[in-house]
Structure 1
Amino acid sequence: MSSARKLLYPFSLLYGGVMQLRNELYDRGIFSSKEYEVPVIAVGNLSVGGTGKSPMVEYLISLLKDNYRVATLSRGYKRSSSGFLLLNGNEPAAEAGDEPLQFKSKFPEIMVAVDESRQHGIQELLIQAAPPDVIILDDAFQHRKVTAGLYILLTPYGNLYSDDLVLPAGNLREPKWGAKRADLVVVTKCPAKISSEAKQKIRARLKLQPGQELFFSSISYSEEIFGRKEVLPLKELQKRHFTLVTGIANPQPLVGYLKQHSLKFDHKAFPDHHNFTASEIKELRSKGLLLTTEKDYMRLKNDIPEEDLFYLPITTQIVDGKKVFEKAILDFAQKK
């Protein structure tokens, strides 16, 4: 922790105390929370920044979509619209949110909705002509007005919640003991060949509660890049100079992956969920070939010539215990 952030520690104690009081009021039933007949899975984290929520939501969609009517519900961070919106896939990212639009583009057969009120969003989903069998709440671990039936808590390998502090001195949205609400804890962005010793050390540091299950996952990058009408091998970029454009919390793993492939590129980094301005779009159009993330592609695809814009997909892989993890999800989906 930097010296400047250490000075903010008293404010962290205050903020953490407020969040803890809020959680206790929900736990005691003083603040009301609504449960639903339909299975609701909440995916989230304790910290701000990227923990791999979108790849995990896509993993769950892939697991469930062939046997259940699946819906995802997000707040649609930084979207220009408000209220409930059921996506058809043709909305601009600024209206729907980049991640929900990514889900709908990749899985057009599922229902994807946004609503800043999760209660209202679920209610609207359930009155559709063909209501969902399972609802996945994206980034909803702190949303206590809805009681999910299954909570999946993500924490990144290089920045475990157990080693962090509450905002503003640290990056936690709530005190670390909020993790007790989780049913499944997933350490994300692990090395693909994480050792048994490393896993044991992490388990000891997280201090899980009885009944909580721990899993480890890694991010897998595609060997192909995708444009609107063309798919190219990643190695094709060894022949061409390009600009990497990122608007994500931590682009360094992606940068490292591309450098491992001996690719030469410039990097234009923007804040997470960045809405590109007209002047920024103009500058990017002058760069020629652009490579970006799938999330950023949703915000750029209507403004950059299709022959110049490609994205590199990523997927989540459960390092071990995949069958146990998937069984927990499928067993829950079958409960109601």
Structure 2
Amino acid sequence: MSKPIKSSEITPEALYLSRRRFIKNTLTMAAVSLYLSACGNQSPAGPTAQPTDSLPLPSAGASVDELGNTLTSYDDIIGYTNYYEFSTDKNGPTRLAQNFKTSPWSVEVGGYVNNARSFSIDELKSLFDQEERIYRMRCVEAWSMVIPWVGFSLHKLLEIVEPTSDARFVRFETLYDPDQMPGQRNSFFPFPYIEGLRLDEAMHDLTIMATGLYGRDLSPQNGAPLRLVVPWKYGFKSIKSIVKIDLVGEMPTSLWMASGPNEYGFYANVNPNVPHPRWSQATERRIGEGGRIDTLLFNGYEEEVAYLYDGMDLSIDF
């Protein structure tokens, strides 16, 4: 049985520690800049995002992940997104989400816990060291990216609220606000967006709550101000703009399970051996690069997470 790896083992320890110092300094400077900008020019819907060409170039602590994959460019990450609350087009969210209000923001954490409470986004950033995690992201649509996220392990948040013995799953919920998120008026999808993890998946050290990427706060189209990232699962599991987290006893029904139960299961583990009903999952297209590459079981994190599914038939529990 493999043990969950520590953050410092993903990259050399010296580089890991230097990144953390860099990120803390970067986020501090970014906060000051955003505060000054908001004081001088703020729309009724909240601060307007600055054009990317007016900001310093983003930086990450490394140029490749642990497998040697080159990081996806910042412009590709913020310009090519799936965020159906805004639009079903890949570039639609970049345009439609720019005035999305992300402050003030709070996240309610409750259910089967001893210490239910609400956290502001500022509290979450101050309570937990914001670490850089370079993860591969594999979309169920067979495209992928390599992203330097900034955030903290979800288990640290869950440990504060203390799940009870009745908690078996974690249910996540996105903000429901059609006035800001026009895609939520699409009646095909049962908004608000719901996702879930088994408790042991949520407690795994690789599972993070992301607050930024490339050393900056998350952009609205990437799930600001807080999103889940589970790197061994297809991207739709990594729910965005979270406002509610509940510890529950029964498996949650996610939005995609409700929308297409024959195509989307609860686990959504990256598995090249189990095709989607409408396409193969054996290969993927890396955004910003040419050609296709082989898809890895559990997105290349098999050594760290395979033990979570011992005894399961992953062609049935998909």
Work out whether the TM-score is over 0.5: no
Asked which structure has the greater CA Rg, the reply is 1
Q: TM-score, normalised by structure 1?
A: 0.25
TM-score (normalizing by structure 2): 0.26
